[in-house]
Amino acid sequence: MSWFDHKLELYDRLDTINSKSLAKTVNTILGEVDHEFWKDHCSNRANHPPEDEGEGGLIRHVIKCTYIFEQEARRQRFESFEFDAGMAAIILHDIKKNGEEWGKSTEYTHGIIGYNFIKKFYFADRTIKKLVMNGVRYHMAPWNTTILKMKLELVKNNPDMPLFTYKEFMGELEERTRGMMPNRIEKAVQDADFWGSRKDISFYPGVSIMPDTERNKEYRKHDTPEEWLKEILGFNEKMYLYPIR
């Protein structure tokens, strides 16, 4: 299958949305995304399953996530509006994955960039619009961040320099905390993205690939709460607010 077939498959997923007006809006948004979104592989390939690699890999990831979301929504007995908002969000969650200008790797602020991109479009229902935007914004929690990749590199390379202002620190804390307190639509979107991107759980309609467990060991990180906590504490240390010794 070519990347173009996957593109059509993703558009087909719009049929699951009950509100025709919302489906039309999502369709319009998809019409404005970067061309590379349709053709690129999933940019953090080291942490993703094999079917997310190669041309169209990102779209295969998004399509998989829509199926996981659909099952989760059934299991949780979502109301129609909850299903619609969540399905719209999971379809759109990675439209800015490689940054405002499509770059070569994952930009970890892409939830916020996607949120701001969607803000520009007309939605018939403003409440649904907010639910969709937030679903996209917090989809990566607990890894969503306000810190741009360039700044993150700077901080990592200069751990002893106080490079964050108080305002930046509080903004980051708020972003992370909000993402960790999702409503149930956001939670289903987060979970769909999480399960859709587990390296050891490879699946795609018609395709399954056994995991290379030895090779995957080195990539299996950032997955447990302890590791996440370590990362956050690491940030704090770099910010000189709560030095950890």
Using CB under 5 A, list all residues that contact Fe ion.
94, 193
**Cα separation of 59 and 175, whole Å?**
26
Q: Which is closer to Fe ion, CB of 70 or CB of 94?
A: 94
Smaller CB distance to Fe ion: residue 161 or 201? 201
Which two three-digit tokens encode residue 101? 């200008």
H or E element, residue 11? helix 3-13
Instruction: With H, G, I as helix, E, B as strand and everything else as coil, classify residue 200.
Output: coil
Minimum distance of Fe ion from residue 151's CB (angstroms): 19
| Closest CB 236 distance from Fe ion, rounded Å | 24
Strand partners, 204: 207
CB of 61 to Fe ion, least distance (A): 6
**Closer of 97 and 129 to Fe ion (Cβ):** 97
Query: Which of 24/198 has CB closer to Fe ion?
Result: 198
Instruction: For residues 86 and 187, give the distance between their C-alpha atoms in angstroms, rounded to a whole number.
Output: 9
* Contact in structure between 91 and 13 (CB atoms under 8 Å): yes
CB of 159 to Fe ion, least distance (A): 27
Phi and psi at 2, nearest 5°, equal -90, 170
